[in-house]
Amino acid sequence: MKRLPLLILCWIGLVAFTQYKQIRNTNPVLNIEPLPIKKVEIKPELVKIKIMDRNAFLDAIGHQESGNRYHIVNRYGYMGKYQFGKSTLKTIKIKVSKTEFLNNPELQEEAMLKLLRYNKKRLQKYIDKFDGQTVNGILVTESGLLAAAHLGGAGSVKKWFRTGKVKKDGNGIKITSYMERFSGYNLYL
């Protein structure tokens, strides 16, 4: 982290020197002397870089779904960090008891990756066609679509593209809010 400010200062110095040489070489009448370089100290603890990768996505969606708690079951019976229903687990071919699922964080992480890949396959033509475009007022990204599919199913995302109809879950959360909130992550699936 300490190297970042030094790299920035080196880059600024290189740009300034290059511009100075160009001005000096193109107009010999101007005798411009460079200004003295002032050393600026940048505190590393103030430099925040937001990493938008798969781990950050999983952390963010897990936080939204359960506060990142693996052992939780909501009032509708959805389980674990990512709030899986029994039918979703069956769809991705995970056959374990509720207790086994809740007591196995690794299995829950595996289930989420399987579901993301399953939904990506079902939504691939929409991702290919609309990624980076605004549709129905929403910026479409792969991670946003997969988050929406996690909330309401890939079918509800397809229906949104076809009709503009926005599905809500049992808590009244719209799939479009997930499209926006979880937009722009690089999932590398």
**And the tokens for 110?**
């595996």
- Cα–Cα distance between 99 and 180 in angstroms, integer? 33
Average pLDDT of the chain is 87
pTM, to two decimals:
0.74
Task: Over range 102-107, report the average pLDDT.
Answer: 98
**What is the amino acid identity at position 70?**
Y
Burial pattern 27-66, b for ≥16 Cβ within 10 A else e, equals eeeeeeeeeeeeeeeeeeeeeeeeebeeeebbebbbebbb
Place of tokens 């300034």: 16
- Considering the domain delimited by 54-181, tell me its CATH architecture: Orthogonal Bundle (1.10)
> What is the arithmetic mean of pLDDT over 93-105?
98
Which token pair is 57? Answer: 């996505």
How is the chain split into domains, by residue range? 3-46, 54-181
Could you tell me which residue, 4 or 162, shows the higher pLDDT? 162
Query: Can you count the helices (H) and strands (E) in the chain?
Result: 8, 2
CB–CB of 187/146 below 8 Å? Answer: yes
pLDDT at 35 over 80: no
* Mean pLDDT in residue range 28-52: 68
pLDDT in tens, 143-176: 999 999 999 999 999 999 999 999 999 889 999 9
